[in-house]
Structure 1
Amino acid sequence: MPTRTITLAYRKVLDVNSPKPWDKLVLADSYRELRMQAQLYNPGGQYRTFGELLHYVPGAEKLHFLVGGSIGGYVQQLKGVMPDIVNNVGRYFLKFTRYQFELINSDLHDPSKHQVAINFYTEPLHWHDTIASYLLVSDATAPAEANGEVLTHLFQLQPYLTIHSLRPAEPAATVG
């Protein structure tokens, strides 16, 4: 079976029900930053929600970027390892090369309504096979072992994890 190269994307959604301490810190700091940055777009305070700002205020879509800067330190704490996704033996293994912060919605007067997402994108992976709801992958940049073996990871597909991009295998050269 030819090996294809894929990039995975994982969308981590954070809201008041997010249980982990890291999630709560990201949520709190992004909310605080949103309230500060929103003052530029809402000086009279006539809009209450992020959705209203997007709808009525030109340029308010820049808030995704402006607020996203407040979580950079938290993302650095992950040391390039994607959160929440483990292989079949319970180890974190997916490395991400980039991320994108997204405000989903928020109420400038009620932090319990604040909801954000962080979209993580992996380094290239070789996709070797699919076994039921599991993918068998290996690091596309890692060299093979001295004996020719390739170290792999088997993991289950789950909500908010998707194949973001696919590069088909190169066709085999024909001899003739």
Structure 2
Amino acid sequence: MSKKVITLCYRKIIDAGNTNPWDKFVYEDSFAEFKMQAQFYNQEQRFSTFAEMLVNVPEADKLHFLVSAAITGYLRQLNGIIPDVLDNLGRRFLTFENFKFEIINSDINDHEKHKVAINFFSKPLIWHDTIDNMLLVSQFKETDEDEIFTNLFQLQQFVSIHSIKDID
């Protein structure tokens, strides 16, 4: 019987309205780094927004990567566990290896317009079943075991199945 192995993506959006201390640190440090890195792409100070730089300055899309350096320490604090996504018992259970940082919006002159996203990609999971509106999953392991520990969780806003693969 074939199994489905899935990878989930959780898109965490952080802006001025976030109240969680971790989110605030990511917000503040990514804005400070954006202002610093944007100077290279805006030496004549003609643009104030990230969107203007993307449209008018070749290679300004590198700012996503350059600004991400300011938040990698905060990602290490998560110890490989995706924040905010809970199973039906209220536990954080999704682990991640990869992420992608993205600047959604920013303005070097207006701190309040800064908005970023961190896309967390889970480690592979086996999708065992769908029960009502919940997925029953377990960590993917190459070996067959008699007992498999599972998590039951509801797909929530900003969580999607990023990839799926059938295995035997």
Q: TM-score range by the shorter chain?
A: over 0.9
Structure 1 residues 2-26: Cα deviation after superposition (integer angstroms, max 9, x where no partner): 4210010100000011121000100
Structure 1: any 5+ residue segments left out of the alignment? 171-176
Find the counterpart in structure 1 of residue 103 from structure 2: 103
2:161 is matched with: 163
SS of aligned partner of 1:11: strand
For 1:17, the equivalent position in structure 2 comes to 17
User: Aligned runs of 1:74-153 on 2, under 5 Å?
Assistant: 74-141=74-141, 148-153=146-151
Q: Is the 8 A contact 1:144 1:151 kept in 2?
A: no
Asked if residue 32 in structure 1 is aligned to residue 35 in structure 2, the reply is no
Give unmatched runs, 5+ long, in structure 2.
none
Cα distance in 1 for residues equivalent to 2:110 and 2:39: 16
Output the aligned Cα RMSD. Answer: 1.3
Partners of 1:100 and 1:18 lie apart in 2 by 19
Structure 2 CA distance for aligned equivalents of residues 50 and 28 of structure 1: 16
Determine what percentage of the aligned residue pairs are the same residue.
51
- Taking structure 2 as the reference length, the TM-score comes to 0.96
TM-score of the two chains, using structure 1 as the length reference: 0.92
Counterpart residue number, 2:4: 4
SS in 1 for 2:112: strand
Equivalent pair of 1:15/1:115 in contact (CA under 8 Å): yes
